[in-house]
Chain A
Amino acid sequence: MTTFALVLLAIGAAGFLFRLLRGPSLSDRVVGLDGLQSIVVIAIIVAAARSDSGITIETVLVAVLVGFVGTTALSRFIERRGN
């Protein structure tokens, strides 16, 4: 069950990676990076449920906060610099 979920997540990650590598503008790349971060967070949770001990669940908090700070900082950068 979790293996199938990880396969679905890999397909979604490939889509976001495509947008990250060849988004026409910098904002498209940030969209890809943000989505990729969401996928990574979900994958860590699925891996914790798969391992059954759930000992890696605390790293998810750090991943969520780092993703939010990254997206916001890049938005400020785009607003100041453009393109």
Chain B
Amino acid sequence: MDILSGVLIVAGSALAMIGGIGAVRFGDLYSRMHAAAKAPTLGLVLVSIGAAIAIDTLLAYTTLLLVVILQLLSSPVGAHALSRASRRQTPVALDGPDDLSRDEDRAASRHAEPSD
């Protein structure tokens, strides 16, 4: 049991370290966001399981379960809000048609027509 919790804690910490390395080495904003948002979240889940096994109290189980649920809910929302907010400011190379800009322009023109 002790070995299992230690392995889980070290694996989760290694995932968080990989996220940090990716935030340094990736080339553009969205790649860095990909590394910084996903890897530490899985690392947090693994570390929480390992720590819950190691501490082994009811308080630790409930608190860490709540922490994992909150992080799994809040991390994608935060990354989505950040990427949407920085879309206009930091242009990146597209690999296809820009559907969101097209929809926004169409909505803007449709919104402008009745006022004329």
Interface residues on A, range: 35 or more
**A35 close to B60 (CB less than 8 A):** no
Choice from B10, B20, B71 contacting A5 with Cβ under 8 Å = B10
Which range holds the interface residue count of chain B? 35 or more
Q: Which residues of B contact A19 (CB under 8 A)?
A: 23-24, 32, 36
Kindly provide the distance from the CB of A57 to the nearest chain B CB, expressed in whole angstroms.
Answer: 5
Is the beta-carbon distance between B44 and A48 smaller than 8 angstroms? no
Q: Quick check: A31 and B23 within 8 Å, CB to CB? A: yes
The SS class assigned to the B binding surface is helix
Interface of A is mostly: helix
B: which residues have CB within 8 A of A?
5-6, 9-10, 12-14, 16-24, 29, 32-33, 36-37, 40-41, 43-44, 47-48, 50-51, 54-55, 57, 59-60, 63-64, 66-67, 70-71, 74-75, 77-79, 81-82, 84-86, 88-90
